[in-house]
Amino acid sequence: MQNLSHCFICGSKSFRELFQKSSPAGFSFTLKKCRSCSLEFLDPLPDEDDIAKYYGQEYFSKRTDRGYDDYFSSQLRREIERVIKLNLGDIGFFKYEKKLGPVKRSLDIGCAAGYFVNYLKERQWDSYGIDISAECVNFAKNTLKLNVERENYLKAQFNAKFDLITLWATIEHLHHPDLIIEKALHDLKPGGCLYISTCRTGFNFKIFQRAKWRYYNFPEHIFYFSSTNMTRLLEEKGFTVKKIFTYGSGFGNAGTMLRTCADFIARQFFMGDMMVIAAQKELQEIRESECIQPDPLKSYALQ
C-alpha cells in the first residue's frame, strides 16, 4: 500500500480527510481531498499489482452493486452501445469522424469486452483495445474477433499513431492518470482526439448522497475528478479541451419519474455526476527553438 505524497494536478501536499469506508475485503480506506484543486483520492492507494484481481470473472458476471450483472449478455451490450452513441453525439464525434480520411485508427483503454472497439470496427475504423481483465480480453478476441490485448497501457508500444483514444469510465480506476494522459498525447496524431468519461465531483447530484454516492466504490475507484481539475490536468499536459458535458443523477430509483426528471436536469444544467470530455492534440506542436524571440533592442529601434 502506498500513499500519495503530493497532488499530481497542482503539486499541493495539503489534504483534507473526507470519510473512511471499508472495501468488501475488509480493508479500510480514507477518502482524501486536495485542499488546492479538490482532487479526491483513496488513502492508502491500493496496491497496483492487486488491482487485477478485482476485475476477475465475478466483476463482469455476478450481480453486485459494484460490477455488472452479466457484462457479456447481448442485452447489456445493447444498453452500453445506446449510452455510447448518446455520448458520442453530444461530444461531437460524428462531426470529427467526417473530417477524417478513409484510414482511421482508434484505441480504447480499459475496453472491457470490446463493445466500443467493435462499434468503431463496424464503422470502418482500424480499432484497437487494451484491458487488464483476462476474461474480457478473451471474449473480445475469441468471440468478437477484435484487436484487443491484455496489457498495461503505460507499457504498451504501438507501430502507428491514433486519431482517437478513449477512456470510457476507466481513468478513475487507474493509478497514474497523469502519465496516462501524457502517453495518450504522445500516441495521438496531431489533431487527434482524446475522449474521457468519468464520475464527477463538485456541485452536482452527488451532494445529496455524500459518502453513499453511487461511485464511491473502494478500492476499484481510486481518483475522483471535477470538471475543473480534469481540465487543468489535460491542459497542463498539452491538450486543448474542446467540450465537456455532464449527465446522470443517481437520484431516486431507476425507472421512476423522479429519476427521469433528475437525469434531465443533470444533463441540461451541468449537474450530472458523470462527465464526458473531448480534448484535442494541437495540429502542430510548436517547438521552443522555433519560436522567434523578439529582440528588445530592435523593437526599440523601430519605434
Q: Binding residues for Zn ion, per CB under 5 A?
A: 7, 9-10, 12, 34, 36-37, 39
Q: Whole-number minimum distance, CB 43 to Zn ion, in Å?
A: 14
Residue 179 vs 265, nearer CB to Zn ion: 179
Q: Whole-number minimum distance, CB 41 to Zn ion, in Å?
A: 9
Contact of 127 with 108, CB cutoff 8 Å:
yes
Q: Is 12 strand, coil or helix? A: coil
Residue 177 vs 192, nearer CB to Zn ion: 177
Q: Whole-number minimum distance, CB 20 to Zn ion, in Å?
A: 21
Q: Whole-number minimum distance, CB 178 to Zn ion, in Å?
A: 11
Q: Is 102 strand, coil or helix? A: coil
Specify the DSSP class assigned to residue 236: H
Residue 10 vs 76, nearer CB to Zn ion: 10
- Cite the DSSP H helix spans in the chain: 57-61, 74-91, 93-99, 115-122, 134-138, 177-187, 227-236, 257-268, 296-302
Strands 188-199 and 274-281: antiparallel
Residue 11 vs 190, nearer CB to Zn ion: 11
Residue 17 vs 47, nearer CB to Zn ion: 17
Residue 287 Cα to chain centre, angstroms: 28
